Amino acid sequence: MRVHIPVSCHTKAVWLLLRQDGAGKEREFVFSLEKTADAYEIWRCECSLEDTGLYFYRFRVQTENESFHLYRWGEHDTNMEEGGLWQLSCVTEEFSAPSWAEGAVMYQIFPDRFYKSGECDLKDKLTPYVLHQNWNESPRWMPDEKGEVWNNDFFGGNLRGIEEKLPYLQTLGVELIYLNPIFMAFSNHRYDTANYLRVDPLLGTEEDFKRLCDTAHGMGMRIILDGVFSHTGSRSVYFEDAANNPESPYKSWFSFKNYPTEYESWWGFKTLPCVKELDPAYLDFIVEGEDSVIAHWLRLGADGFRLDVADELPDEFILRLKRRLRELRPDALLLGEVWEDASNKIAYGQRRRYFIDGELDGVMNYPWRKAVLDFARGSDGGEGLRHALETLAEHYPASALHCTMTMLSSHDSARALTELAAPFEGSREAMAAHRLTEDGRALGIKRLRFAAGLQFFLPGMPSIYYGDEAGMEGCKDPFNRGTYPWGREVEDLQNHFKRLGNMRKNSPVLRHGNLAVLSCGNGKISLKRESKDGICRGDFDATAGTFRIQLETGEIITD
């Protein structure tokens, strides 16, 4: 570590004061004067830490006339005797994300709404359900007479449909496909798992999944699944048996308050009973057994998992899952749904250890998403984006930064096109009726092209939420989960994503390079990515909605 102190301070000594998170005592490390350069003295300190963990630090400075503590002030300044602390993560030596995933182009699919090929055997589909006859209809959203929303309308998108469209995904430069849940469930979103070891009948069969993985692998693409392990569905084979049989082997999975009708559920939704993740029987079933859930799907061809609501999973559960995952497949990927800065996240009163213990390879990058959208639509002049980029680059281990899921939309957010044209809030009825005007849509597309330029330039795994590249719009759930508009795509926008995806796929610097912010302000930001393979530069002007990217090869991409 080096600090630069003006020569005019007449510094005699400098100390690093370092405190591990949760520990009261600071440790002191002494700096030595390395050299003088221009008007500054450069002081240098080397220290080693025995324990992984999150650390916070400040400095103590002794001059000829005084001694004072130096704190962080704002983003870049320092201040004497008051202010914030700097953050340092000491991670396990075992922390290493799969190299194939770093910087990879990603595509997220909501399976029921992507593409249908052929017919599936629906005899075991949980009832009641409604199957749309028109692919272009809107998802149902209205509650029934009791005020309940069933989420049981389906369009029939299936695994064979995804396999059939793999050549299309290849034209986008896609290397990693993330599937929202495919396990048997009652609802169309399938976050209410009914059977962890079976594909939902509407999506196809286990053989369909295996063939999808085999075909994708042959085309240079990998597939990760959504792991929903904090709760099951109330229609699950596990909960139904536990609630109807006091001697059920599954009863220990659930927290019954008044058996069998009162139980702990996810955010109070009775259809989503919570599980006790560290219950030995549950842990064996999901993670550690020879034929556990994760072993089952990895053996069929899955390349990893994205963990739903990672904040609600115990650290020990995630760590044990990660270790088992790597035993089964050394290059398997594990991502987590985290909405904030994952390096220092506190959830339910506990500081999470996602990175310092090597639990997760990467997370969903919602702070990045907000910063990019704010900049692209002009509500930030560039300082907010710079702060978000530099903070994450400072806080995240390098491999985790390159494995963050950098998305402009997701199944839990409004479509980027709608957000960029004009964020819309209102009742579900108002959201259902909301459509962009012709001018609003044109503005949204222009801004989306610009935001995508940033997305494919910056560190992380640029993730396309199915249909964003085709010009899909929509407010938040369920209006962000419409069907892919096959034959009605905005071709110029689609071709723009194809060009950016293949640019990213073929640029080692954009996949792995370090990031530096060269300048920002007044709606403009200039960035540099650098690695042993060369330098790329990106200049982005949000006021004009244009960008210029110069690749390490000298090729220039503009919009």
Residue 383 is among the residues annotated as catalytic for this protein: no
> How much is the mean pLDDT over the chain?
96
* 446-472: pLDDT as tens digits: 999 999 999 999 999 999 999 999 999
pLDDT band of residue 501 (cuts 50, 70, 90) is very high
- Note the pLDDT of residue 291: 96
- Kindly give the pairing relationship between strand 53-63 and strand 11-20: antiparallel
Give the pair of three-digit tokens for residue 153: 């309308």
Q: Is the distance from CB of 456 to CB of 510 less than 8 angstroms? A: yes
Sheet of strand 546-550, all strands in order from the earlier edge strand to the far edge: 514-521, 524-531, 534-541, 546-550, 556-558
Q: Are residues 10 and 57 in the same domain?
A: yes
**From 112, 337, 357, 419, the catalytic residue:** 337
pLDDT band of residue 147 (cuts 50, 70, 90) is confident
**CA 452 → CA 168, 394, 402, 417, 549, distances in Å?**
19, 23, 17, 11, 12
Of 211, 242, 276, the domain-final residue:
276
- Note the pLDDT of residue 176: 98
Q: Are residues 191 and 297 in the same domain?
A: yes
- Note the pLDDT of residue 25: 87
Q: Are residues 458 and 361 in the same domain?
A: yes
Residue 152, in any domain of the structure: no
Residue 142, in any domain of the structure: no
Q: Are residues 436 and 526 in the same domain?
A: no
**How many residues are there in the chain?**
559
Q: Are residues 531 and 420 in the same domain?
A: no
Range of the domain at 28: 2-90
Strands (E), 64-203: 67-73, 77-80, 86-90, 106-109, 130-131, 153-154, 176-179, 183-185, 193-199
Q: Are residues 282 and 382 in the same domain?
A: yes
- Note the pLDDT of residue 321: 98
At 314, which CATH number? Answer: 3.20.20.80
Domain count, the chain: 4
Q: Are residues 178 and 305 in the same domain?
A: yes
Query: What 3-state class would DSSP assign to 141?
Result: coil
Q: Are residues 382 and 521 in the same domain?
A: no
pLDDT band of residue 298 (cuts 50, 70, 90) is very high
Q: Are residues 52 and 166 in the same domain?
A: no
Q: Are residues 311 and 212 in the same domain?
A: yes
At 35, which CATH number? Answer: 2.60.40.10
Nearest to 138, CA basis, from 482, 430, 412: 482
Please compute, for residue 9, the number of CA atoms within 13 A of its CA located in the half-sphere on the CB side: 19
Query: For 61-90, b where at least 16 C-beta lie within 10 A, e where not — what string?
Result: beeeeeeeebbbeeeeeeeeeeeeebbbbe
Separation CA 235–CA 233 (nearest Å): 5
Residue 132, in any domain of the structure: no
Query: What 3-state class would DSSP assign to 452?
Result: helix
Residue 264 is among the residues annotated as catalytic for this protein: no
Separation CA 74–CA 76 (nearest Å): 6
Separation CA 158–CA 289 (nearest Å): 29
**From 163, 308, 359, 473, the catalytic residue:** 308
* 262-274: pLDDT as tens digits: 999 999 999 999 9
Of 46, 62, 90, the domain-final residue:
90
pLDDT band of residue 48 (cuts 50, 70, 90) is confident
Residue 138, in any domain of the structure: no
Residue 137, in any domain of the structure: no
Residue 456, in any domain of the structure: yes
- Note the pLDDT of residue 74: 84
Place of tokens 């960035």: 527
* 63-115: pLDDT as tens digits: 998 999 999 998 778 999 999 999 999 988 777 899 999 999 999 999 999 99
- Note the pLDDT of residue 397: 93
* 322-368: pLDDT as tens digits: 999 999 999 999 999 999 999 999 999 999 999 999 999 999 999 99
Q: Is the distance from CB of 278 to CB of 269 less than 8 angstroms? A: no
Residues paired with 66 in a beta bridge:
none
Helices in 267-334 by DSSP H: which ranges? 280-283, 293-300, 315-328
Rounded to an integer, the average pLDDT of 2-21 is 94
Separation CA 249–CA 255 (nearest Å): 14
Residue 407, in any domain of the structure: yes
Query: For 375-400, b where at least 16 C-beta lie within 10 A, e where not — what string?
Result: bbbeebbbebbbbbbebbbebbbebb
Separation CA 10–CA 513 (nearest Å): 38
pLDDT band of residue 146 (cuts 50, 70, 90) is confident
* 305-334: pLDDT as tens digits: 999 999 999 999 999 999 999 999 999 999
For the entire predicted model, the pTM comes to 0.96
Residue 353, in any domain of the structure: yes
Separation CA 549–CA 534 (nearest Å): 14
Q: Are residues 263 and 289 in the same domain?
A: no
Of 241, 276, 311, the domain-final residue:
276
At 257, which CATH number? Answer: 3.90.400.10
Query: What 3-state class would DSSP assign to 120?
Result: coil
Separation CA 281–CA 530 (nearest Å): 48
For residue 202, give the amino acid letter: L
Q: Are residues 498 and 365 in the same domain?
A: yes
pLDDT of 547 higher than 90? yes
